[in-house]
Structures are given as C-alpha cells and as structure tokens.
C-alpha cells in the first residue's frame, strides 16, 4: 500500500468510528487528530489483530455493537482502544458536550434516559456477540 492508500484507509476508519459513536460526520479537526493515534495503535498491534480489526471496519459492521461485545469477550481489543481514543478526542469539541454533560435535572427524564440506555446496551451487546460469533463481522 502507498502512503496515500494508508491515509485514505485511516480517514475512512476515523469516519466509521465517529459515525458509530455520534451518528454524524466527523469534523475535519478530529480526523487530523485521530490519524496519529491510528498509526501508534496499529504499530502496537499484531498482524492477526490488525487483520481482524480491519475486516470489521471494511465490512461496515455495527462498530458500536462490535466494540461492546469485544469489551465483554476480549476479542477485537484494537477496536476498543481506538473507540476509547476517539471518545477522548471527541470530548474536546464544544458541539459534543451534550453527550458528556447532563444539563437537565428532571428525575423522570433521567430515569427514562437510563431505562432507554439499558435497553439499548442490551440490544447492542446481543447484536455484537452475534456478529463476533459469525467471525465475518458483517
């Protein structure tokens, strides 16, 4: 692969991870900040780990579900490390503060949000475990 090929692959990877987390396009500044992270994390991964990780990225699988399942099973640790890095970087942008800071103080709204989050997490865990079981991640 050429340097340009790697750059396109890493940019696509950054877009996929951000979209899985936040449901929208990644701001260009985060792409710039995330590319060195990708290089450092890839340098520490084994060839087998890289192959499995990029297979998940390239198949367009649900990365949110796969990452949750990988935390539960220990598979795809590279995905977990990259998602953690993206979360940390994304927190620095003002437009993402609503994902990190609760500014409402309603007990009912809080309880409803927690119930929805628990149901969503259970669904994503089941889906992720199913995707991991298949091995193709897609």
Per DSSP, the three-state class of 60 is: coil
pTM of the model: 0.85
Q: What is the mean pLDDT of the chain?
A: 89
What was the pLDDT predicted at 138?
46
Residue 94 confidence (pLDDT) above 80: yes
Asked if residue 90 lies in contact with residue 22, where contact means CB atoms within 8 angstroms, the answer is yes
Please compute the mean of the pLDDT values over residues 95-124 and round it to a whole number: 84
Reported as a single tens digit per residue, the pLDDT across 72-93 is 999 899 999 999 999 999 998 8
What was the pLDDT predicted at 38?
95
CA distance 78 to 41: 7
Q: What 8-state DSSP symbol labels residue 92?
A: T
Please compute the mean of the pLDDT values over residues 55-80 and round it to a whole number: 92
Q: Where are the domains of the chain?
A: 3-134
- Helix, strand counts (H, E) of the chain: 7, 0
Residue 126 confidence (pLDDT) above 50: yes
């Amino acid at each position: 692969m050429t340097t340009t090929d790697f750059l396109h692959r890493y940019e696509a990877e950054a877009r996929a991870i951000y979209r899985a987390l936040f449901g929208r396009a990644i701001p260009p500044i985060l792409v710039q900040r995330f590319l060195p992270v990708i290089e450092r994390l890839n340098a520490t991964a084994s060839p087998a780990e890289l192959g499995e990780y990029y297979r998940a990225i390239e198949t367009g699988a649900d990365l949110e579900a796969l990452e949750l399942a990988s935390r539960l099973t220990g598979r795809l640790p590279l995905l977990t490390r990259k998602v953690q890095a993206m979360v940390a970087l994304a927190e620095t942008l003002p437009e993402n503060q609503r994902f990190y800071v609760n500014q409402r103080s309603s007990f009912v709204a809080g309880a409803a949000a927690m119930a929805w989050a628990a149901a969503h997490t259970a669904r994503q865990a089941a889906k992720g475990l199913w995707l991991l079981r298949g091995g193709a991640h897609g």
